[in-house]
Amino acid sequence: MLIALFFTNYGPYHLARLEACQILFKQFGWDVIGLEISRTDALYAWQTDIKDFPVQIISILPDHTYKKLKLHQIFNKFNQTLSQLKPDVLAIAGYAEPAMLSALLWSLLHKKPTILLSDSKEDDAKRVWIQELLKSFLLKSYKAAFVAGQPHKRYLIKLGIPSNSIFLGYDVVDNKSFAPDKLQHLPNHVEKPYFLAINRFVPKKNIPLLISAYANYREKTGPNAWILVLCGDGEQRLLIEKQISELNLQDSVHLPGFLQQEQLLPYFAHASCFVHAGIREQWGLVVNEAMAVGLPVLVSNCCGCFEDLVIESINGFGFSPDNTQELTNLMLKMSSGDIDLKKMGQASLQHIQNFSPEHFAQSLMEAVKYALAH
């Protein structure tokens, strides 16, 4: 039996998931293959080399053509590819892209079960009833769903998907790549203890509020204040640089720029606390990474991962992303010496083991078995 996992583009997270599936599935005589629209992605500038990867990954369209093709051309190309591969089950990431709908239509025409891969939750965007009605109708075409966490499951249930056909554990990273014992030898680029945040510099990441909260924190703490390291880049960079300058934080807020995963590891390795302040975030895989390193976390309660990953006062704290003072107070608490940061980090490390590629593979297998039986 051939199981195809279809993502827009295979980045580091997806490779870890696909490889874990291959290891588990082959024990049952199943084969797995990766499908992607193209090798590059406009949203995430991943540099992933799949040349020697142990599982076959097929890029269906050349990088430069997808956005130029008409709907019927996209469907014809996907129909041709899938008809050659003949997968028995298709796991499809989302339904917004024409390519994903083309894969779903092929499955319906060939009577092959499909599994929806989703980390959408109800508050990701303003929901319009007619669109939600159409979405509910479309989702009936899937035999099962594999979602990130509890908020995502509740959303699909509201859209009419039976609870017993929804499986959890979709949003995971390669925890082993971030294991603390592997990273402790890496150089420390920052002399003082520091808060770490890693984001695209876009409005929904809420970086201006984070900087404002940090400015308040620094004013109250004085010379013993931790540094703030903001890794990333994007459309708001000039705005962020201006805010840092106006608040006279040039010496205490570091901007290393956009970094690939290997370049981020030294910053993860030596951070004292991780902060994620997003206003809208379907999940927030960077929180998985921080916990896999063994960091305590401060996470916006609007992030999709908050409910599943943050255990209040055990491995970190949540905060409202529109409340500057609340985040300032948490920064003060984390750097006060009253918190056992090592114990809190160990709790992060222990909890994130429940969100691993191996768990992804096991849950997807259960979803496949359910889809085949129904």
Stretch 23-51: mean pLDDT = 81
- Are residues 73 and 193 both part of a single domain? no
Q: Strand, helix or coil at 22? A: helix
Looking at residue 132, the DSSP 8-state letter turns out to be H
Type of residue found at 118: S
From 96-105, 142-151, 227-236, 358-367, the region with the lowest mean pLDDT: 96-105
Stretch 267-285: mean pLDDT = 97
Residue pLDDT, tens place only, 115-125:
999 999 999 99
Stretch 170-197: mean pLDDT = 95
**Number of separate domains in the chain:** 2
Residue pLDDT, tens place only, 281-290:
999 999 999 9
- Are residues 221 and 314 both part of a single domain? yes
- Are residues 135 and 250 both part of a single domain? no
User: For residue 8, which of 81, 51, 66, 80 has the smallest C-alpha distance?
Assistant: 66
The pLDDT assigned to 61 comes to: 86
CATH number, position 338: 3.40.50.2000
- Are residues 190 and 205 both part of a single domain? yes
pLDDT above 60 for 358: yes
- Are residues 140 and 84 both part of a single domain? yes
pLDDT above 80 for 225: yes
Give CA torsion, residues 356, 358, 361, 364, to 10 deg.
-50
- Are residues 120 and 185 both part of a single domain? no
Structure confidence at residue 372 as a pLDDT band (50, 70, 90): very high
The pLDDT assigned to 220 comes to: 97
Structure confidence at residue 50 as a pLDDT band (50, 70, 90): confident
- Are residues 248 and 347 both part of a single domain? yes
Stretch 359-368: mean pLDDT = 98
The pLDDT assigned to 67 comes to: 73
> Percentage of the chain with pLDDT > 90?
87
The pLDDT assigned to 44 comes to: 54
The pLDDT assigned to 72 comes to: 86
Stretch 87-108: mean pLDDT = 94
pLDDT above 60 for 46: no
Residue pLDDT, tens place only, 247-264:
999 999 999 999 988 999
pLDDT above 60 for 357: yes
- Note down the domain range covering 46: 2-172+356-373
Would you state the structure tokens that stand for residue 279, as one six-digit string?
């206003």
- Are residues 363 and 332 both part of a single domain? no
The pLDDT assigned to 38 comes to: 83
Give CA torsion, residues 163, 301, 42, 70, to 10 deg.
40
Structure confidence at residue 43 as a pLDDT band (50, 70, 90): low
- Are residues 277 and 145 both part of a single domain? no
- Are residues 162 and 27 both part of a single domain? yes
Stretch 198-216: mean pLDDT = 97
249 Cβ partners below 8 Å, 6+ apart? Answer: 211, 214, 215, 218, 228
Contact 173, 288 (CB under 8 A): yes
The pLDDT assigned to 261 comes to: 87
Stretch 171-183: mean pLDDT = 95
- Are residues 162 and 196 both part of a single domain? no
* Phi, psi dihedral angles at 123 (to 5 degrees): -90, 15
pLDDT above 70 for 41: no
- Are residues 281 and 308 both part of a single domain? yes
Structure confidence at residue 47 as a pLDDT band (50, 70, 90): low
> Percentage of the chain with pLDDT > 70?
97
Query: Residue for token digits 């704290």?
Result: 317
